[in-house]
Chains A and B, each alone.
Chain A
Amino acid sequence: MGIEIRIPSPLKKLAGEQDIIKAEGKTVGEALCWLTETYPGLKERLRDEQGKIRGFVTIYVNNEDIRSIQNLETPLKEGDRLSIVPAIAGGYR
């Protein structure tokens, strides 16, 4: 399914300076696989050694957290937006 992936600012430079990337995938897991194979710099940021999504990254499909749907098995349909939201801490310096 043709979807859009939203790349957050702290990870943009690892995704060729793009903030929206057109992608394909029937599920969230497939789309993220495609993303990290295409932009290997993102692999370490998004997934741990076992391939699980890291605890400081949340993934949303449209406005729903995938943890409240089916995690990586969450199905995607045409035009869905997958957003990657990492914790950010700047506010000071």
Chain B
Amino acid sequence: MAEGLKKLFWKAVHKTLQGYYQGTKKGVAEISIHETRRLLQRGEKIILLDVREQDELALGHLKDSVFVPRAHLPEKAETLLPDKDIPIVVYCAAGVRSLLAVKTLKEMGYHQVLSMKEGFDGWKAAGYEIASDSELTPDQLTRYSRHLLLKEVGVEGQSRLLKGKVLLVGAGGLGCPTGLYLAAAGVGTLGIIDSDRVDLTNLQRQILHGTSDVGRPKTESARDAIERINPDVKVITYQERLTADNALRIFADYDIIIDGSDNFPTKYLVNDAAFFTGKPYVYGGVFQFEGQATVFSPGEGGPCLRCIFPEPPPPGLVPS
């Protein structure tokens, strides 16, 4: 660009920025997310300063931002932002901390500092482009944000969930709520094995299935429900009964086996196949108002089902 045009552009930017000094909030100038975006799209030379805390950054940020948590500005700003004349747009989550940050920076001698009014949350809500250093896409950063905010989960935990493979034995009274929550949480692969079809009497509790699914194979109905909740989840269905012939082969592909079956022969088969393939096995059983749940992981030194209940009851002796 010719020198003359460049000067004109700078003048225009300064004028825009100065215009914002007129509309101040307690003496601090603000800029909207829309105007910020326009400046960036025009290629204006501005610094984006993100003053949020470290654990908020997992949710994403504006591309090419400088990161200094607000409380660290007095000691770090001058190192990271040596030029006190370049315009700086400061943002936080909602536009409140950035106001305080702007005040601090002005006291330090920065001349052109603006607070982005609606904050990062407003930027994302408007659908504007965000960047992320994590393995998660921007869409996933939003979908799983309530996980990411928990220090016990975070991006690393969510990435592990997305790589996880869980097999549900049975898509009935126990398999359905389990499948729903695992799908929502973002477990990357869910296998479902069930040879049955949906019956009207199932609908009172088997919540993956709906009225229009009556008569359909449970595997298909379950897959449709899961895909509606979370397209991140890959569903693999086995419309067959689990047997000694197929169990070892099927279990090999999964990390964890969840037993929602309703009969003892299957429970002991699941236990044995999980034992031989070295997979932890989540056991559940219900009778009216009483339930049992535990995790058997003999691979980690614990008992298996046969250690607790060495033999199944003969048919008819215990209701199921």
| Pair from one complex | yes
Q: Which residues of A contact B (CB under 8 A)?
A: 8-10, 44-45, 54-58, 65, 85-93
Q: Point out the residue from B173, B264, B308 that lies within 8 Å of A92, measured CB to CB.
A: B173
A77 CA to B261 CA, complexed, in Å: 39
B287 x A10 contact (CB < 8 A): yes
Instruction: Tell me whether A90 and B286 are in contact in the complex, defined as CB-CB below 8 angstroms, given that A10-B318, A56-B318 are known contacts.
Output: yes
Chain B residues lying within 8 Å of A8, measured Cβ to Cβ, are 287, 290
Q: Chain B: which residue is nearest A9 at the CB level? A: B290
B320 x A88 contact (CB < 8 A): yes
A89 CA to B290 CA, complexed, in Å: 11
Minimum distance in angstroms from B23 CB to a CB of chain A:
63
Q: Name the interface residues of B233-276: CB closer than 8 Å to any CB of A.
A: 259-264, 267
Tally of contacts, chain A with chain B, CB under 8 A: 88
Minimum distance in angstroms from A50 CB to a CB of chain B:
14
Which range holds the interface residue count of chain B? Answer: 20 to 34
A9 CA to B292 CA, complexed, in Å: 12
A10 CA to B290 CA, complexed, in Å: 9
A89 x B267 contact (CB < 8 A): yes
B287 x A9 contact (CB < 8 A): yes
A93 x B309 contact (CB < 8 A): no
Chain A residues lying within 8 Å of B319, measured Cβ to Cβ, are 10, 90
Chain A residues lying within 8 Å of B263, measured Cβ to Cβ, are 89, 92
Minimum distance in angstroms from B212 CB to a CB of chain A:
21
Q: Chain B: which residue is nearest A89 at the CB level? A: B320
Chain B residues lying within 8 Å of A88, measured Cβ to Cβ, are 285-287, 290-292, 318, 320
Q: Name the interface residues of B147-194: CB closer than 8 Å to any CB of A.
A: 170, 172-175
Given contacts A56-B264, A56-B313, 16 further A-B contacts (CB under 8 A): A10-B290, A45-B317, A45-B318, A58-B309, A86-B318, A87-B267, A87-B308, A87-B313, A87-B318, A88-B285, A88-B318, A88-B320, A91-B260, A91-B261, A92-B260, A93-B262
User: Of A65, A87, A88, A92, which is in contact with the most chain B CB atoms at under 10 Å from its CB?
Assistant: A92
Minimum distance in angstroms from B132 CB to a CB of chain A:
40
Chain A residues lying within 8 Å of B287, measured Cβ to Cβ, are 8-10, 88, 90
User: Of A54, A55, A85, A87, which is in contact with the most chain B CB atoms at under 10 Å from its CB?
Assistant: A87
B309 x A89 contact (CB < 8 A): no
Minimum distance in angstroms from A9 CB to a CB of chain B:
4
B312 sits at the interface (CB 8 A) = yes
Q: Chain A: which residue is nearest B201 at the CB level? A: A93
User: Of B259, B288, B289, B313, which is in contact with the most chain A CB atoms at under 10 Å from its CB?
Assistant: B313
A55 CA to B172 CA, complexed, in Å: 27
